[in-house]
């Protein structure tokens, strides 16, 4: 394998990784998850009022949920400001990957000749 080939393969892997991260960002639904988390919190509150769970248990659950809520709100804010840029980046990555794959196929075809 030549250095050029190795570089192309590494670039393809980097593009795949960044494309997966970009897709995850685009497809994330933080506000839906936030609503589910808050509904779950309401259920905990009902159980606590009915003495089905202890104060310590609900405190622990609320602390974890508060951290998760903070992460989800930050993601929603980021997504709100950067959604179009993420879509643009996704299509740039797809184009770049197609170009690199095409170049790799050309190299492999030349090897067989």
- Mind listing the pLDDT tens digit for each residue in 26-69? 988 888 999 999 999 899 888 888 888 888 888 888 899 999 99
Check pLDDT > 90 for residue 4. no
Position 103 scores a pLDDT of 93
Its pTM stands at 0.67
The rounded mean pLDDT for the chain is 90
Q: List the chain domain ranges.
A: 3-112
Radius of gyration of the chain (CA): 23
Least Cα distance to 58 among 70, 72, 47 occurs for 47
Contact call for residues 30 and 79 (beta carbons, < 8 A):
yes
Residue 16 CA to residue 39 CA, distance in Å, equals 36
Residue 96 CA to residue 110 CA, distance in Å, equals 21
Position 59 scores a pLDDT of 86
Position 69 scores a pLDDT of 92
Helix ranges (DSSP H) in the chain: 3-27, 30-49, 55-112
- pLDDT confidence tier of residue 94, bands split at 50, 70 and 90: very high
């Amino acid at each position: 394998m030549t250095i050029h080939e190795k570089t192309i393969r590494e670039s393809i892997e980097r593009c795949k990784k960044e494309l997966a991260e970009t897709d995850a960002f685009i497809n994330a639904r933080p506000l839906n998850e936030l609503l589910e988390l808050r509904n779950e919190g309401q259920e905990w509150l009902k159980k606590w009022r009915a003495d089905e769970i202890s104060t310590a248990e609900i405190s622990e659950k609320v602390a974890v949920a508060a951290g998760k809520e903070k992460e989800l709100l930050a993601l929603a804010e980021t997504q709100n400001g950067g959604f179009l840029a993420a879509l643009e980046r996704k299509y740039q990555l797809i184009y770049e990957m197609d170009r690199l794959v095409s170049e790799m196929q050309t190299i492999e075809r030349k090897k067989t000749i």
